[in-house]
A and B are shown apart, each in its own frame.
Chain A
Amino acid sequence: MASQSSTDSIEGAYPEPVLRAAGDSALLIAFGDRLDPAINNAAIAFDARLREAAIAGVSETAPTIRSVLVRFDPLEIAPDRLRGTVAELLAERDWLSAPPPAERSLWRIPACYGGEHGPDLDEIADLVGCSPAQAAQRHAEARQRVFMLGFAPGVAYLGLLPEAWNIPRLKEVRPEMPAGSLLVAVRQTVLFAAAMPTGWRAIARTPFRSFDPRRDPPVLIAPGDEIGFTPVEAAEFARLTERAENGESIVTREDLA
């Protein structure tokens, strides 16, 4: 059966989705415990199914890297009843074989590699085993998937980079890295939306604001989208930063079929 074969072939996928209560007003439905496109597709597809089902009493759903959060009012829908409804929806198909979302985008985002905007580029290149210029080029050209928006408003978890990029996190958390920082570790890139401390290495910085409260919605990129970076020099970075501050769009979007 389809459900058997897809689960067997995906490392880190659970044989059956795991449904757990998270307090008295939320459920978590997990499809696995790894960063994997198929597990992430399952979470995104099931989140879309839940939204379509529009279950009375459910106030919000949100996909994560590997699960779906369902927040609800337990006095409007009893947790038992909601669990039953969710189980029925889960049984509708093999979610691990779900395709990526139908409407998704490829974003091209400018980024300035190395120097003050990517202070760890040389060290990253050493760990990856290439020159800094090659590391910048490979990182920019790798089409990375948006696995999740989390941690803070608009912070995007991107991946997966090639195996050579399986580089460790820093031992110590470093002081704040500015908004727009692109940080790498364990085959992932995190795009920072605000200045925050981090234990990851900074390879570049983008003038693009992934979270802008002036926009509606304030966050443009969505889970399942793909991102490619366009390397720019520091002077261009400064010009683009000014344009972004004026509310201009400095990224391009294409439909991904």
Chain B
Amino acid sequence: MSATLEVIAAGPSLTVQDAGRPGLQRYGITQGGAMDAIAMAEGAALLGQDVALAAIEMAGFGGKFRARGAPLRIALTGAAMRARLDGQDQPWNTSLTLEPDTVLEIGAAEDGAYGYLHVGGGFATPEQIGSRSTHLRSAIGGLEGRALREGDRLPVGKDGGGRTGMVLPRGRRFGQREIRILWGAQADAFSQAERQRFLSCEFDMTTRRDRQGARLKPLGEPFHAESALTGVSDAVVLGDIQIPGDGLPVALLADRQPTGGYPRIATVISADLAALAQIPGHARFRFRLVSEEEALAALRANRREIAELSRQMRPLVRDPRDMGDLLAFNLVDGVISAREEETS
């Protein structure tokens, strides 16, 4: 019997995601895929497998899961969530083996917005239009194009195997409250003063957010374009900060529309897209203008870090022989102390 992962209980928004569907914007189809691409790479590194394999994206809250038929190798990445394996606390950003009939319970996100559950071999739900990513609006990908729910059994691909019980350092994107931008394609629709105000303003990440976009609440006046656009739509890109008629910015995220008619004042640099997606609800943050050169240097650094992930892994065991390895233990402690702050 091939292994499956059973969903015993599901948080409000669990979706199967991979790298999405690039190259189809001409059909009105945006790439979609995981909100935090770095977390996907972390999961692939922890399980020693291809980054293209599908995982479960958990928005804000996890669920209860059980391996069926055979043990499953699992990795937990992205926003740290309270996890328990058969009642025992399980540190985040780790790999583990889920024996059949043991229960993995994943609670609320503690330092971000999107957590990920990866399996060895990846989820083997059917591909649609070249991807397993769920796009809720067009009801494609994942399981029947919908969010996962209680009773679902997800097929798992063939696992090449490998060790579990490894941990990766927490990414720097968690806790990042300064998101770097370039001026957007229509920034000239805004006055110099309005643009300056955008840079000095503090924003609140509202809970009006989903995979399409996030409403940002400025701590100050709404923003207004100086010259009205003609309203003829143009292409939008991932990370665009759009200013609709009410002046309250919207960050356009993975499942954004391909086109829009509202002016975009800024575009988040590629290196900070995961950090933007992971800002927790009600957290405050700012935007910082950078040059194109800085944006590219940040992207280069970002890619280098991803390429080096497998070398960053450490065994999770508290074996005295490993005690000299301060890096790994500091990181595990970091997760624990973050929890203590949360509850204190």
Which one, A20, A24, A194, contacts B292 given CB within 8 A? A24
A86 within 8 A of B: no
| Cβ contact within 8 Å between B29 and A218 | yes
Is B23 on the interface with A (CB-CB < 8 A)?
yes
Least CB distance, B267 to chain A, in whole angstroms? 4
Interface string of B229-258 (1 = CB under 8 A from A): 110111111111000000000000000011
> Please, what's the 1-or-0 string for A63-95, where 1 marks a CB less than 8 Å from any CB in chain B?
111110101001100110000000000000000
In the complex, whether A38 has a CB less than 8 A from a CB of chain B is: no
Question: Is B184 an interface residue when CB atoms closer than 8 A count as contact?
Answer: yes
The answer to whether B139 has its CB under 8 Å from any CB of chain A is yes
* Secondary structure call for the A interface: loop
Whole-angstrom CA separation of A140 from B240 in the bound complex = 37
The interface residues of chain A lying within 8 Å CB-to-CB of B268 are 23
B312 interface contact, C-beta 8 A: no
Give the contacts of B115-149 with A (CB-CB under 8 A): 128-129, 135, 137-140
Whether A151 pairs with B233 at a CB distance below 8 angstroms is yes
- Total interface residues on A, CB under 8 Å, equals 47
Of the listed stretches B6-14, B92-100, B215-223, B294-302, chain A binds B294-302
Contact A194 B237 (CB under 8 A): no
Which one of B237, B268, B295 has the highest number of Cβ atoms from chain A below 10 Å of its Cβ?
B237
Q: Roughly how many angstroms separate A61 CA and B232 CA in the complex, as a whole number? A: 19
Contact A24 B296, CB 8 Å, known A155-B28, A157-B233: yes
A60 within 8 A of B: yes
- Return the chain B residue nearest A25 by Cβ: B270
Q: How far is the CB of B294 from chain A (nearest CB, A)?
A: 9
**Nearest CB of chain A from residue B189's CB, rounded to whole Å:** 11
Set of chain A residues within 8 Å of B288, measured between Cβ atoms: none
Q: Which of A182-235 contact B (CB under 8 A)?
A: 193-194, 196, 211, 213, 217-219, 223
Given A33-B229, A62-B258, check contact A75 B299 (CB 8 Å): yes
Q: Determine whether the beta carbon of A59 is less than 8 Å from that of B23.
A: yes
- Contact status B27-A154, CB under 8 Å: yes
A153 close to chain B: CB less than 8 A? yes
- Say yes or no: A193-B28 contact (C-beta < 8 A), given A22-B240, A23-B269, A30-B234: yes
A152 contacts B233, C-beta separation under 8 Å: no
A34 in contact (CB, < 8 A): yes
Tell me whether B235 and A69 are in contact (CB under 8 A).
Answer: yes
Contact among A34, A60, A74 with B22 in the assembled complex (CB-CB below 8 Å): A60
Interface centre among A79, A148, A155 (most CB of B within 10 A): A148
The count of A-to-B residue pairs whose CB atoms sit within 8 angstroms is 138
Chain A nearest Cβ from B307, distance in angstroms: 12
Report how far A219 CA is from B236 CA in the complex, Å.
20
On chain A, the residues within 8 Å of B137 by CB distance are 152, 194, 196
B29: chain A residues at CB < 8 Å are 153, 218-219
Do A64 and B259 touch across chains, with their CB atoms under 8 A apart?
yes
- Look across to chain A and name the residue whose beta carbon is closest to the beta carbon of B29: A153
A219 touches B232 (CB 8 A): no
Counting CB contacts under 8 A, is A149 at the interface?
Answer: yes
CA distance A223 to B259 in the complex (A): 14
A150 within 8 A of B: yes
Interface check A35, CB cutoff 8 A = yes
- Within 8 Å by CB of A150, from B129, B138, B240, B259, lies B259
Contact between A59 and B22 (Cβ–Cβ < 8 Å)?
yes
Kindly provide the distance from the CB of A179 to the nearest chain B CB, expressed in whole angstroms.
10
Q: Which of B235, B238, B270 contacts A64 (CB 8 A)?
A: B235
Q: Which residue of A lies closest to B255 (CB)?
A: A152
CB pair B182–A218 under 8 Å, yes or no, is: no
B335 interface contact, C-beta 8 A:
no
Q: How far is the CA of A196 from the CA of B185 in the complex (A)?
A: 27
- Residues A62 and B25 in contact, CB atoms below 8 Å apart: yes
User: Which positions 277-307 of chain B face chain A at CB distance < 8 Å?
Assistant: 292, 295-296, 299-300, 303
A-B contact pairs, 29 of them (CB 8 A): A22-B235, A23-B270, A24-B295, A28-B235, A33-B229, A34-B232, A59-B23, A60-B22, A60-B24, A60-B25, A61-B26, A62-B235, A64-B234, A64-B259, A66-B232, A66-B234, A67-B235, A69-B25, A69-B235, A75-B303, A148-B233, A149-B26, A149-B28, A150-B233, A151-B28, A196-B137, A211-B28, A217-B27, A219-B28
Given contacts A66-B232, A67-B234, A213-B128, 7 further A-B contacts (CB under 8 A): A23-B238, A23-B270, A62-B26, A62-B235, A71-B237, A150-B233, A150-B235
Residues of chain A whose beta carbon lies under 8 Å from any beta carbon of chain B = 12, 20-26, 28, 30, 33-35, 47, 59-67, 69, 71, 74-75, 78-79, 148-155, 157, 193-194, 196, 211, 213, 217-219, 223
Query: What is the interface of chain B, defined by CB distance below 8 A to chain A?
Result: 22-29, 128-129, 135, 137-140, 182, 184-185, 229-230, 232-240, 257-259, 264, 267-270, 292, 295-296, 299-300, 303
Closest A-B pairs by Cβ, 8 of them: A150-B259, A23-B267, A69-B235, A219-B27, A62-B25, A149-B28, A24-B295, A62-B26
